[in-house]
């Protein structure tokens, strides 16, 4: 395990309890396989920036217009992050201050909509996010959400249904994006539907934005009025969010982020975003993004061959959703068995039923250097863990595989 993931000697002396917590987490990551679709390993440079002196800086406002003094380097860091994001995604404007993807989506709503507005988005049972109208979320309490779904047979978005719902409800905004849809949205189709009913188009691209950066997925930027995204996941940056838009909405977006929905910017995170955007602009990241997709397709097919019901028949992205029921186990039980074996992943809603399936992704294991051979081995170990394989043996094999590909070197 790399020393970069270990607590410092200072922390060990000052707070041994938290030092043990951090050491335990580093060991957990080293000895298990991180298959959560929303997780990844940042670079050493991103980690170093997160722990930099900018963590001490208060910087409410925007470059050149801060509410605190001493922001000259904070301004430089944010300007670099903004310009790199604009160049990377071909956007006229970028706001890099959102603390998370959810914060980015809610800020977009605040910028574009009034409370009570009708919004058309993917329904939660089909892969919609909490910010797409959950009654437990501010989005579902402030706006009138209408949910679209997927075709019961193919699992693919039914664009005729989207069009029909848009014509019937005349939403002020349409949201395209999901947390568990493994295919590329047809952004042009959403744009046509939005234009027909006079709606704004908001793309929640939190999952595919890293693939977009690496040229392994189509970009929503030319089609959507506003694009919201995270900076972790496949993009491999720090945990946080961002918003991309045209010049027409730039001022409204900026005001919605600060001061309407957030306070001081997290400057160490913004600087780390700048580092990640720089890394994502390299040929090496392009290669990585395409390998992520190749690994996901190999893993999806291997799981299908071994008996899991893979939704939509496969994937175009980094994530896979599958029903383990053909192996005689439900989603939550499967997740527990896999966690005990060292395979860390999530459950998700499956279309047209109350059952939950498995959601897994290949971003982190691809960062570790694993390829299609390892994907086949992961599928074998996963099915063994679900179908009564010797738990100790399966756990040992998974640890051996994980330790053979340390994310930060030996």
Residue in 60, 144, 151, 158 annotated catalytic: 60
Residue in 183, 233, 236, 359 annotated catalytic: 233
Q: How many alpha carbons lie under 13 Å from residue 189 in its C-beta half-sphere?
A: 12
233 flagged as catalytic: yes
Residues β-bridged to residue 293: none
78 flagged as catalytic: no
d(CA 72, CA 65) in angstroms, rounded, equals 11
Residue in 31, 58, 286, 306 annotated catalytic: 58
9 flagged as catalytic: no
CA angle 226, 228, 233 (to 5 degrees): 155
3-state DSSP of the chain? CCHHHCCCHHHHHHCHHHHHHHHHHHHHHHHCEECCCCCCCCCHHHHHHHCCHHHHCCCCEECCEECCCCCHHHHHHHHHHHHHHHHHHCCCEEECCCCCHHHHHHHHHHHHCCCCCEEEEECHHHCCCHHHCCCCCHHHHHCEEEEECECCCCCCECHHHHHHHHHHHCCCEEEECCCCCCCCCCHHHHHHHHHHHCCEEEEECCCCHHHHHCCCCCCCCCCCCEEEEECCHHHCCCCCEEEEECHHHHHHHHHHHHHHHCCCCCHHHHHHHHHHHHHHCCHHHHHHHHHHHHHHHHHHHHHHHCCCEEHHHCCCCCEEEEECHHHCCCHHHHHHHHHHHCEECEEEECCCCCCEEEEEECHHHHHCCCCHHHHHHHHHHHHHHHCCCCHHHHHHHHHHHHHCCCCCCC
d(CA 175, CA 120) in angstroms, rounded, equals 6
Residue in 66, 236, 239, 335 annotated catalytic: 239
Residue in 39, 78, 204, 323 annotated catalytic: 204
Residue in 230, 261, 315, 366 annotated catalytic: 230
230 flagged as catalytic: yes
The residues carrying an active-site annotation are 58, 60, 204, 230, 233, 239
């Amino acid at each position: 395990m790399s020393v970069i993931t270990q607590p410092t000697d200072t922390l060990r002396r000052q707070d041994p309890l938290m030092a043990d917590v951090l050491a335990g987490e580093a060991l957990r990551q080293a000895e298990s396989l991180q298959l959560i679709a929303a997780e990844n390993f940042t670079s050493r440079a991103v980690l170093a920036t997160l722990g930099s002196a900018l963590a001490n800086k208060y910087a409410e406002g925007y470059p050149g217009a801060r509410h605190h003094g001493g922001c000259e380097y904070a301004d430089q860091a944010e300007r670099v992050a903004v310009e790199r994001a604009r160049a990377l995604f071909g956007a006229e404007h970028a706001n890099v201050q959102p603390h998370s993807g959810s914060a980015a989506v809610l800020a977009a709503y605040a910028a574009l909509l009034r409370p009570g507005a009708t919004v058309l988005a993917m329904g939660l049972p089909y892969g919609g996010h909490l910010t797409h109208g959950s009654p437990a979320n501010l989005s579902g309490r402030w706006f009138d959400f209408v949910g679209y779904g997927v075709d019961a047979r193919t699992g693919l978005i039914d664009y005729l249904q989207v069009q029909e719902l848009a014509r019937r409800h005349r939403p002020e905004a349409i949201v395209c994006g999901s947390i568990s849809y493994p295919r590329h949205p047809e952004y042009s189709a959403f744009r046509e539907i939005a234009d027909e009913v006079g709606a704004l188009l908001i793309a929640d691209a939190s999952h595919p934005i890293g693939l977009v950066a690496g040229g392994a997925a189509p970009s929503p930027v030319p089609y959507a009025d506003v694009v919201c995204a995270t900076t972790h996941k496949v993009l491999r940056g720090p945990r946080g969010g961002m918003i991309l838009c045209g010049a027409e909405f730039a001022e409204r977006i900026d005001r919605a982020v600060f001061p309407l929905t957030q306070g001081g910017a997290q400057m160490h995170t913004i600087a780390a975003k700048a580092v990640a955007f720089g890394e994502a602009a390299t040929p090496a990241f392009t290669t990585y993004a395409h390998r992520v997709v190749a690994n996901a397709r190999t893993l999806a097919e291997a799981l299908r061959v071994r008996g899991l019901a893979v939704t939509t028949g496969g994937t175009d992205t980094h994530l896979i959703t599958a029903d383990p029921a053909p192996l005689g186990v439900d989603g939550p039980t499967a997740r527990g068995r896999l966690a005990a074996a060292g395979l860390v992943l999530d459950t998700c809603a499956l279309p047209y039923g109350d059952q939950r399936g498995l959601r897994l992704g290949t971003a982190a294991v691809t960062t570790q250097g694993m390829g299609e051979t390892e994907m086949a081995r992961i599928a074998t170990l996963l099915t063994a863990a679900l179908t009564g394989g010797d738990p100790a043996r399966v756990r040992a094999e998974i640890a051996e595989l994980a330790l053979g590909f340390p994310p930060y070197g030996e």
